[in-house]
Amino acid sequence: MRDLQALPKAHLHLHFTGSMRVSTLKDMAQSQGIRLPENLTDNTALQVPADQRGWFRFQRAYDAARKVVRSEEAMRRIVREAAEDEAREGSKRLEIQIDPTSYAPFVGGITPALEIVLDEATLASRDTGVQVAIVVAASRLKHPLDARILARLAAKHAGEGAGQVVGFGLSNDERRGNTPEWAGAFDIARKAGLASVPHGGELLGPEHIRDIVTALKPRRLGHGVRAAEDPALLEYIVDNGIALEVCPASNVQLGVYNSLGDVPLRTLLKAGAQIALGADDPLLFLSRLTDQYENARKLGLDDYEISLLAHSSISASLASPSDKERWHDEIDAWLAAPDPVSDPASDPEPDPHAA
């Protein structure tokens, strides 16, 4: 069984605050005299039911963590450490998602908040070798007009490389708001060349995915796993090249599925869906990107099938064609290398003095 941490891959579903290390959260809180809820520091992964109360518990934990991010230094540290963590896991590309309005009060506004993140993404990319690009995301908890402001800001920094904005998203509880009301913001973003990458198909099922596909015209869907419940919808998604950012661990820990075995990864793959595995919020779920590939192994995928998932993550990224080609070649090299479990040459030499 080949080393999954050495597998080249792209990470396309990671939230800014949720990417933090637990140790970093503790350090930031201690330096500011902020008392954290025990469930953020007890090294126990968050586990909630998929109802309004469960989401409230999740959101309360996330908000508590976000309260320690109150300076430019803290924001830069999060970006830097996210890139370092991805480098250790074999990631070639990270597209990290942020709503700059959450941090704007502490750094002088939404424009400096975004520019801080973009600048550190450029520096961290140079130093770690991981291309760090940014997805600006509006929140369903705020007014759709706020999303248009964010879309215009994102458009000013549009690009495809490190330290640039590559996509525009819509996050938080998908049961909130009327999805078509955010269409105007996504139109602004698309006209600037940004990809539409909203969340959907996690807490709500096929009917809501249809609303998102119609109104927001996504290039990728954050989660999208509930499309497996409707073969006709899934066929439409596949035929239209809409990639799915599937996060097996968080799907289970947010109560969308009862167990890992219920996550419909096989169903999605069999239908031909383009899938990029993601970790969502490692701070809360204590599960990083490589863990998601381990989860795929637990669901019965062999190394060839896992390499296809890595290829899909690269294809679904918003990187340049030349970068994608290089990373695809590196995945092929990973698969072509001898399997250390089955390769006799990898077995230790027998000890002639052993009994």
Q: What is the pLDDT of residues 10-59, one digit of tens each?
A: 999 999 999 999 999 999 999 999 999 998 999 899 999 988 889 999 99
Which residue of the set 202, 229, 235, 330 is catalytic?
Answer: 202
| Polymer length in residues for the chain | 355
Alpha carbon separation from 72 to 29, 69, 149, 294 (Å, rounded): 15, 8, 22, 35
In the beta sheet, which residues pair with residue 158?
A: 165
Please tell me the predicted confidence (pLDDT) of residue 193: 98
| Residue 202 known to be catalytic | yes
In this prediction, the residues of the chain whose per-residue pLDDT falls under 50 are: 346, 348-355
Global pTM reads 0.94
The CATH architecture to which 4-336 belongs is Alpha-Beta Barrel (3.20)
Token pair for 207: 């009917």
End-to-end CA distance of the chain: 29
Q: Alpha helices of 89-164 — where are they, by DSSP H?
A: 110-128, 144-156
Q: Which of 202, 292, 287 is nearest to 244 (CA)?
A: 202
What residue ranges do the domains of the chain occupy? 4-336
Strand order in the sheet with 243-246: 199-200, 220-223, 243-246, 275-277
Given this model, what pLDDT does residue 50 score? 86
Burial of 161 (0-12, 13-18, 19+ CB in 10 A): middle
Position 341 scores a pLDDT of: 65
The predicted pLDDT at position 352 comes to 42
